[in-house]
Structure 1
Amino acid sequence: MSSFPLISFLIALMLAAAVCTHGGQEPVLDTAGNPVLRTAQYLIQPYSPRSNGGGLLPVPVKLLPLCPLGISQSSVTALPGLPVSFSYPYALMDTYVSEGQAVNIEFKSDAWPGCEEFSKFWEVDESSSASEEPAILIGGKKRERNSWFRIERKEKFVGGNAYKLTTLAGTIGTVPGPWENAPQLVLTNDTSKTFLVKFHRIHDDSTATSTSTSRLEKLGLRMFPLY
């Protein structure tokens, strides 16, 4: 008897179990309390209103070589950072992003400081020169495991939910970066360095907002050295 029907049955059973498990997860919420959608763009910003910085920008992690770029928090609170989108490494039917589900994060902006040969997907530095707390870089690939991130709700505070970003190997935190000590995103197991974030949706139907954001993006990139 052929084993093909049995294999097909097992694959179907595994897919059904995955869908059921995924369906029970809570959606990640934006600052307005709405589910974070894969079809929209968001600013990832520090959760605490007392933070001494703004949103996230692509910046070099060292002087030479400049590429690939890392990710740092703007040292200026008024700068919102560059927008990102979320997608799943493999095809899923959900339109929203679920807590704990592996996702790709990609910068979505025409304002860019260079290193165009690299993708705008985030990844964990797995090079031989990576430190014990490897940097989060630009240049990832959707189906590479070091480009998979999870969004987990840390706590529910008055005024919204605080989330943290994690990977298969640890939590995303910050350390003082090379440019004016602006917080640089790294992979860490030190809970005191955890970077708590919120997600602010950018509405495409607002021309004024889009124009303002574009100007702020360009200003933010110029504020880092060498740009």
Structure 2
Amino acid sequence: MPMKTTSLAFFFLAFAFALTTALGRSIAGAGDVEPVLDTDGNPVINGGLYRILPAPPANGGGFIPLTLDGETCPISVVQASPGLGFTMFIQVASNKLVDYVYPTDSVDIIFSGRPVCTDSAKWILKFFSPVPAVFIGEEDDRTVAGHFGFEKYEDAYKLVFFPERLPGITWSLGISPFGNNRLVANEENPIKIVLQSFNRGKSASTI
């Protein structure tokens, strides 16, 4: 009995050590990852307001909800045309209890205002012809379960989507090559973006 008790105690001690070591490595690894930075070089604040803009020298504005293809409410997320004069601020909220947003974090992206004809300003991805596209509004049977995120892309970032039913898979997002400036799943040509803080862009008008 004493030998069995000792062996059992040793087993649990070894298991606890291995678990603690693994957690320590995980925490240390997370601390080594640089948070997403805004255009001023500051970490993107979890829950903060930002404009998502094309990285220079690309043309075009930020993202807005618009009425397309016979919709009765502006629920399609599109890139504003150059010189349009306004883009919407967006709340970026990580699903983790952290101060800043990190690359590959799952995040909610929510327009700072919403059209009166829809109940939600939160971005969702829906199956759409010929590729999945980004909308706001209520979820339905076309909604793809998952979350958005940011990944380092060249000297800036790109928008990505993590489909819940495909663990370990990410879809890059870009502007539709089929017109209307829709934001869609576009692996071949992702849009390179930067995030501009609300504190810097207060002069921008919103809808």
Question: TM exceeds 0.5?
Answer: yes
Are the counterparts in 2 of residues 82 and 217 from structure 1 also a CA contact under 8 Å?
A: yes
CA distance in 2, matches of 1:78, 1:84: 18
User: What amino acid is aligned across from residue 57 of structure 1 in structure 2?
Assistant: I
Distance 1:69 1:16, change over 3 A: farther
Are the counterparts in 2 of residues 149 and 165 from structure 1 also a CA contact under 8 Å?
A: yes
CA distance in 2, matches of 1:38, 1:21: 20
Q: Provide the secondary structure at the position in 2 that maps to 1:38.
A: coil
* 1:54 corresponds to 2:89: no
CA distance in 1, matches of 2:173, 2:92: 16
* 1:217 corresponds to 2:203: no
Indicate the residue corresponding to 1:223 in structure 2. none
Distance 1:197 1:80, change over 3 A: farther
Indicate the residue corresponding to 1:202 in structure 2. 198
Are the counterparts in 1 of residues 126 and 134 from structure 2 also a CA contact under 8 Å?
A: yes
Are the counterparts in 1 of residues 118 and 137 from structure 2 also a CA contact under 8 Å?
A: no
CA distance in 2, matches of 1:63, 1:153: 36
How many corresponding residue pairs? 180
Q: Map of 1:46-195 to 2, 5 A cutoff?
A: 46-51=54-59, 53-64=60-71, 66-67=72-73, 69-77=75-83, 79-89=85-95, 91-92=96-97, 94-109=98-113, 112-117=114-119, 119-126=120-127, 130-139=128-137, 146-156=145-155, 162-168=156-162, 169-175=170-176, 181-189=179-187, 191=188, 193-195=189-191
Kindly, what percent of the aligned residue pairs are identical?
A: 28
Following TM superposition, by how much is the alpha carbon of 1:188 offset from its aligned partner in structure 2, in angstroms?
A: 2.4
Are the counterparts in 2 of residues 175 and 186 from structure 1 also a CA contact under 8 Å?
A: yes
User: What amino acid is aligned across from residue 24 of structure 1 in structure 2?
Assistant: D
User: What amino acid is aligned across from residue 167 of structure 1 in structure 2?
Assistant: F
Cα deviation, 1:126-150, whole Å, max 9, x if unaligned, reads 4xxx224111111378xx9735112
User: What amino acid is aligned across from residue 86 of structure 1 in structure 2?
Assistant: V
Larger of the two Rg values belongs to structure = 2
Following TM superposition, by how much is the alpha carbon of 1:18 offset from its aligned partner in structure 2, in angstroms?
A: 5.5
User: What amino acid is aligned across from residue 151 of structure 1 in structure 2?
Assistant: F
Distance 1:25 1:139, change over 3 A: farther
Q: Provide the secondary structure at the position in 2 that maps to 1:22.
A: helix
Distance 1:188 1:50, change over 3 A: closer
CA distance in 1, matches of 2:185, 2:58: 23
Give the gaps of 5 or more residues in structure 1.
Answer: 1-5, 157-161, 219-227
TM, length-normalised to structure 2: 0.73
Give the gaps of 5 or more residues in structure 2.
Answer: 1-11, 163-169
Distance 1:217 1:170, change over 3 A: same
